[in-house]
Amino acid sequence: MPKLWEKGYSLDSLVELFTVGKDFLTDMRLIKYDVVASMAHAEMLTRVGYLSREEFEELKVALEKLLKLIETSQFSISPSEEDCHTAIENFLVREVGDTAKKIHTARSRNDQVLTALRLLYKDQLREVEQLIQQLQKQLKLFSSKFGKIKFAGFTHTRKAMPTDFKTWSMAFYDALSDDIKLLKVTFELIDQCPLGTGAGYGIPAKIDRRFTATRLGFRKVQKNPIHAQLSRGKYEFLLLHVLSQISFDLNRFASDIIFFSLPEIGYLVLPKELCTGSSLMPHKLNPDPLELVRAYHNRIVARQMECVMIVDNLITGYHRDMQLLKEIVLESFDIVRQLLLVMGLVFGKLKVNRKKCEESLTEEVLSTERVYRLVGKGIPFRDAYKIVAQELGVREDEKT
């Protein structure tokens, strides 16, 4: 298969296999965005005179045909084609001949992949936001069912003060609201069209970048061509940071539910269908899905570090190192989507054991309220604190 960079020599087979890596597989998730960007690019080339209207119509028909093949899983990228960009151009050459060779005018694989990735990332961010909102609905439903039930909260993994399930569940709701704000800021930065920046140093030809950006639904043009290339890796790092913030909150949800559903604590009841069993111990019902939610957060944090380590210390310009970013970012999006779905399911089925919660509100848990009743009678806080501590028989070295 011909390559976009073909120069009349054969690449060593081991080098070819090594440099392609998993790109021909990963790019099957990217290819439809590259097709859409190619349509907009071809239309722009027609506007500025590099393609005739007839040539554009030929290309458009062929690209629409390719898009249908992709959507119906009837198209694949061969390893020899390296990536979706070559696969698209090879398809166009088969469909329309020499006209296809004009579509790469005024672009590079560098700004081509940047554009397709930005379009893909925008869709992924929208989907994650929708899943967060669905989880927030489950949290509200949980709160409406069980919110008034009080229980002993913990500090230092010891019983501390009373709280209720409305405060608890809506704390996570608010955390997810923060995550949505982070998603929107990230979306705004990514919502810049890099097409037309070439390999990072611009295109020495008259093009209409604003037209292409508008056609592709970008909020603005990313004007500086060097920054367009520098933003690859930077924006991926930002994406992974936002995803790790979401997984961090889900990790905390999971840890609380595991702890609160301990039989010894018993505030929460996990239904059997959300638990797995032991191959040895007949009595065991294990919160494995929640444990995996915790663990997957750590994987995303690791991917975040992998990302920044791939791109730091690189000089200005494109480097093949960046090829490895695609897989880790897409994997992280996949993980976060699964985590949100699982936690939505958990909160939809989670129940509260009112009796256990009421039993947790023992005398010492209410001690701070007693302190403030004394404060309300005019006793200084420090004196009231000591009075209640003495009543409870707490020695000085036992206070926390």
Q: pLDDT tens, 225-241? A: 999 999 999 999 999 99
- State whether 120 and 267 are in the same domain: yes
Find the CATH number of the domain harbouring 349: 1.20.200.10
- State whether 92 and 118 are in the same domain: no
Query: Is 283 assigned a catalytic role?
Result: no
User: pLDDT of 244-295, one tens digit each?
Assistant: 999 999 999 999 999 999 999 999 999 988 878 777 787 878 889 999 999 9
- Total of domains in the chain: 3
Task: Show the 3-state SS of the chain.
Answer: CCCCCCCCCCCCHHHHHHHHCCHHHHHHHCHHHHHHHHHHHHHHHHHHCCCCHHHHHHHHHHHHHHHHHHHCCCCCCCHHHCCHHHHHHHHHHHHHHHHHHHCCCCCCHHHHHHHHHHHHHHHHHHHHHHHHHHHHHHHHHHHHHHCCCEEEEEECCEEEEEEEHHHHHHHHHHHHHHHHHHHHHHHHHHCEECCCCCCCCCCCCCCCHHHHHHHCCCCEECCCHHHHHHHHHHHHHHHHHHHHHHHHHHHHHHHHHHHHCCCCCCCEECCHHHCEECCCCCCCEECHHHHHHHHHHHHHHHHHHHHHHHHCCCCCCCCHHHHHHHHHHHHHHHHHHHHHHHHHHHHHHCEECHHHHHHHCCHHHHHHHHHHHHHHCCCCHHHHHHHHHHHCCCCHHHCC
Q: For position 333, what pLDDT does the model report?
A: 98
Is 93 part of a structural domain of the chain? yes
Among 9-18, 104-113, 217-226, the least confident range: 9-18
Confidence bin at 23 (pLDDT 50/70/90): confident
Is 221 part of a structural domain of the chain? yes
- State whether 288 and 171 are in the same domain: yes
- State whether 151 and 62 are in the same domain: no
- State whether 302 and 243 are in the same domain: yes
User: pLDDT of 282-306, one tens digit each?
Assistant: 787 888 999 999 999 999 999 999 9
Is 5 part of a structural domain of the chain? no
Q: For position 320, what pLDDT does the model report?
A: 85
Is 24 part of a structural domain of the chain? yes
Domain stop point among 102, 120, 138: 102
Confidence bin at 400 (pLDDT 50/70/90): low
Domain stop point among 53, 80, 102: 102
Host domain of residue 372: 363-398
Which candidate in 13, 156, 279, 283 is catalytic? 156
Domain stop point among 68, 102, 136: 102
Confidence bin at 1 (pLDDT 50/70/90): low
- State whether 80 and 119 are in the same domain: no
Q: For position 76, what pLDDT does the model report?
A: 92
Q: For position 286, what pLDDT does the model report?
A: 87
Q: For position 19, what pLDDT does the model report?
A: 67
Is 271 part of a structural domain of the chain? yes
This prediction's pTM? 0.90
- State whether 320 and 374 are in the same domain: no
**Is residue 74 pLDDT above 90, yes or no?**
yes
Mean pLDDT of the chain: 92
User: pLDDT of 329-340, one tens digit each?
Assistant: 999 999 999 999
- State whether 370 and 351 are in the same domain: no
Confidence bin at 14 (pLDDT 50/70/90): confident
- State whether 344 and 252 are in the same domain: yes
- State whether 308 and 346 are in the same domain: yes
Among 11-15, 34-38, 351-355, the least confident range: 11-15
- State whether 249 and 278 are in the same domain: yes
Is 286 part of a structural domain of the chain? yes
Which candidate in 278, 283, 332, 360 is catalytic? 278
Q: For position 208, what pLDDT does the model report?
A: 97
User: pLDDT of 32-41, one tens digit each?
Assistant: 999 999 999 9
Q: For position 283, what pLDDT does the model report?
A: 80
Is 224 part of a structural domain of the chain? yes
Confidence bin at 393 (pLDDT 50/70/90): confident
Query: Is 332 assigned a catalytic role?
Result: no
- State whether 146 and 271 are in the same domain: yes
**Is residue 125 pLDDT above 60, yes or no?**
yes
Is 183 part of a structural domain of the chain? yes
